[in-house]
Amino acid sequence: MTPLEFTILLHHHCSPGPFRQPTALYDDICAQFTSDGIFETSLPADQRENGYKVTDKGTAWILAILKTPMPEQVWVDLGGEILEIS
């Protein structure tokens, strides 16, 4: 996932308004998300300005991404042992 894809996904998850920074790739990304079942376009009349709604599958993907732990830096010697540096 690219940063732009993640930004678009989070925008449509959190905001009822239109995406404010459309790029040449925006339509392609939204079409792919729709094809993959991440977005749906059949919205009630009061949400049509947005154009896209994140599906349950898309919400589950967002939650999985947000649960990813922060990486940790470790130092490893040539033998594969982690070196404890304080």
- As to burial, measured by CB atoms within 10 angstroms (0-12 exposed, 13-18 middle, 19+ buried), residue 67 is exposed
Which pTM does this prediction carry? 0.75
pLDDT digits (tens, 9 = 90+) for 12-37: 999 877 888 878 899 899 999 999 99
Q: Quick count: other Cβ atoms within 10 Å of Cβ 56?
A: 9
Beta bridge partners of 25: none
23: CATH: 1.10.10.10
Q: How many domains does the chain have?
A: 1
| Burial per residue of 41-54, b for 16 or more beta-carbon CB atoms within 10 angstroms, e otherwise | eeeeeeeeebebbb
pLDDT given at position 48 = 54
Residue 54 pLDDT > 90, yes or no? yes
Q: Which domain holds residue 39?
A: 3-66
34 located within any domain: yes
